[in-house]
Structure formats: C-alpha cells, structure tokens
Amino acid sequence: MSTPEHVEGRAYDAPPPPSPGVPRASVELSLAPHAAPQHDEDGPDQQAGEIGPTGRALRFTPDPVPVAQHGPAKILAVCNQKGGVGKTTSTINLGASLAEYGRKVLLVDFDPQGALSVGLGIHPHQLDNTIYNVIMERAVGVQDVIMETGVEDMHLLPSNIDLSAAEIQLVSEVGREHTLVRTLRPVIDQYDYVLVDCQPSLGLLTVNALAAADGVLIPLECEFFSLRGVALLIDTIEKVRERLNPKLDITGILATMYDPRTLHSREVMARVVEAFGDIVFDTVINRTVRFPETTVAGEPITKWAPRSAGAKAYRALAREVIAR
C-alpha cells in the first residue's frame, strides 16, 4: 500500500484535483493599473557635447520644427529577431513622442502576439477586423481597421493571432513579400511616420515589413548574447535591399535595457559602438520597471510618467529619428 504522501504520485499537501462538474473559481490574471507614480523621477537633461552613455560626445539634434502638412510617411520597421529586446516598447513610445512633436503617426502591429495593441489598452482578440482581414479580404479596407489610440495623432493598425495564419497563406501568393506595402499604400499620404512592430523572427512577415520600409530601427538589449543575432539581421536587411527594396536603410541601432551600474552593460555598450559606429543612436534606454508598468496601464510612458527619464529618452530618440 502506498503511504498518503505518494497517493497518485502527488506531494502530500498538494491540493486535490478539481472534481468534474464542480466549477472552479476563475482566476483573475489581469493586473489593475496603479495610479500614475507619485515619484515621477525627473531624468537629467543632457546637452550636446557632453559624454553620453554610448561613451561618445552627444551629437547636436535640433528641436523638430513643426510641420505644416502631413505625409507622405516614412516607414520604419522596428526589427530584431530576438524577443524581449524592446521592439514593442520602442514602437509605442517612439510613436507617442513623434506625435508629441506634431507628427501624425500610424503604428502597425505586425506581430500575431498583438502586444502592441495590448500595450495601447486594446484587447485584440475581441476585434472583428485586424490587419489580417485587410491582407486577406479584398472587401476590408485599411481605413476600416485603423483605430484611434489614447494619444492624439497616433493611430493603430491592430493585429491578433489571426495574423499567424496569414504568414502561411501568403506563401503561395504572387508578390507575397509586398503585401504590407500594398496594404499601407492607401493611407501613406496621411501620416508622417508609420512604425511597424515586427515579430521576433526573420520570416515572411518581417520580410514584408523590410520590403515596405524606408528604414530599420534595431533595438538591441545591452546583453552579451544579443550581439550574436545582429549580424544575421543585417545580412537579411542587405538581401532585402538587393532583391526587393533598394531604398531600405538602417535608420539606427537603439541600445535598450541599459543598466549604467553594471560593468557588463557598459562593456556591451562599448562593443556595440565599436562594431556599428555612428548608426548607434546617442539615446540609450535604461532598464526600468516603468516600462512593464506602462504595459499594464495600456499607455505610453510619455503619458504614464511624462517627466520620467524613460519618457525623456524616447523624446530624445524621436528628435534623433526626425533629424536622420
């Protein structure tokens, strides 16, 4: 006979499995956003000429001049095949900062995980139409699917898990790499920037983003292994430039999740600057819990903690992007 500790191989004090027919209390997995932080840390303002976190003197970036007319948009693909490097966070916060500078911005969620949509407080699985329907159904126009966000002049083309089917369905299509550019064409004149949040792979969706883009913005986590994948990414960008999209350029490499207190972060930063030189943005995004908080709050850091160092950093990035 087995002792009570070994009944059905369970640990002695493990809870019994739910008996069939007895409803279990559903588990509330969502987090309620806290009130906006009280101690909204006021990050330092850095001046041109000062030595920045990249170890170089900060280049002068002028304050963006207001635009009188909008469009045609510059399309930027936010791309890195590694997950969790800050693509989605950078798309939302760069977009919101560009909008603060009076630019009209369209964010394109091009990841079936829909994290960009979630980060803007939208539940993408509840949407009837997403970018998937625009791509696959002639009757659905891109204007019908674009949504407003909590940020004025920043719109969203949402996605959800349906988009993962598009990747498979597109394989047999003629001109499959140019699907996104065709999708965006009707609205391109209405925006100044279109930011495409790519999925963490170099598959067909990402190739579509690269084929549509004028520039690529590469977020790079300040961590040793993150350097390894970049060579492959740059190789892919070069192939797309040669075969599909001659105008494609690398707009810049953005160091993210930087922790100035660790030697490791500083060493990786030095390697990145050594390897990629001037295309590394002067702006560096520090690691801070503010960013995960903004996802829960469903808004960009520029609204959630407008005076925080993180908000200031993305505004500085927007100034660099406008100047490039």
Instruction: Indicate the helix (H) or strand (E) that contains 283.
Output: strand 280-286
Given 87, 312, 315, 319, the residue binding Mg ion (CB under 5 A): 87
Note whether 222 binds ligand ADP by CB under 6 A: no
Tell me which residue has tokens 């100047």: 323
**Residue 89 binds to ligand ADP (criterion: CB under 6 A):** yes
Per-residue binder mask for ligand ADP (CB under 6 A), 98-127, x = binder: -----------------x------------
Choose which of 52, 53, 86, 95 interacts with ligand ADP (CB under 6 A). 86
Q: In what order do the strands lie in the sheet with 154-157?
A: 147-148, 154-157, 105-110, 193-198, 74-78, 215-221, 249-258, 280-286
Q: How far apart are CA 304 and CA 289, in angstroms?
A: 12
Token output for 65: 């001049």
Residue with structure tokens 């040793």?
Answer: 224
Residue 87 binds ligand ADP, judged by CB under 6 A: yes
Kindly state the smallest distance separating residue 56's Cβ from ligand ADP, in Å: 20
Total site size for Mg ion, rule CB under 5 A:
3
Residues 16-55 that bind ligand ADP (CB under 6 A): none
The count of chain residues that interact with ligand ADP, using the rule CB under 6 A, is 17
- Interface stretch with ligand ADP, choices 43-51, 79-87, 153-161, 168-176 (CB under 6 A): 79-87
* Amino acid (1-letter code) at residue 290: R
* Residue 295, binding choice from Mg ion, ligand ADP, none, Cβ under 5 to 8 Å by partner class: ligand ADP
Would you say 254 and 88 are in contact if contact means Cβ atoms under 8 Å apart? Answer: no
Q: Report the residue from 287, 312, 315, 319 that binds ligand ADP according to the rule CB under 6 A.
A: 287
Report the C-alpha gap between 308 and 82 in whole angstroms: 27
Pair of tokens at residue 77: 């693909």
Residue 208 touching ligand ADP (CB under 6 A): no
Does residue 292 bind ligand ADP (CB under 6 A)?
yes
In whole angstroms, what is the distance from residue 219 CA to residue 85 CA? 6
Question: Are 104 and 74 in contact, with CB atoms under 8 Å apart?
Answer: no
Q: By C-alpha distance, which of 104, 114, 203, 205 is closest to 155?
A: 104
Angle between helix 87-100 and helix 309-323 axes, rounded to 10 deg: 70
74 binds, among Mg ion, ligand ADP, none (CB under 5 to 8 A by kind): none
Q: Name the one residue in this structure whose structure tokens are 């660099």.
A: 320
Q: Does residue 88 touch ligand ADP according to CB under 6 A?
A: yes
Nearer to ligand ADP, 133 or 206 (CB): 206
- Nearest approach, Cβ of 93 to ligand ADP (angstroms)? 9
Out of 54, 61, 81, 88, which residue is the one contacting Mg ion (CB under 5 A)? Answer: 88
Tokens of 134: 């625009």
| Contacting residues toward ligand ADP, per CB under 6 A | 83-89, 115, 200, 256-257, 285, 287-288, 291-292, 295
The residues that touch Mg ion, with contacts defined as CB under 5 A, are: 87-88, 115
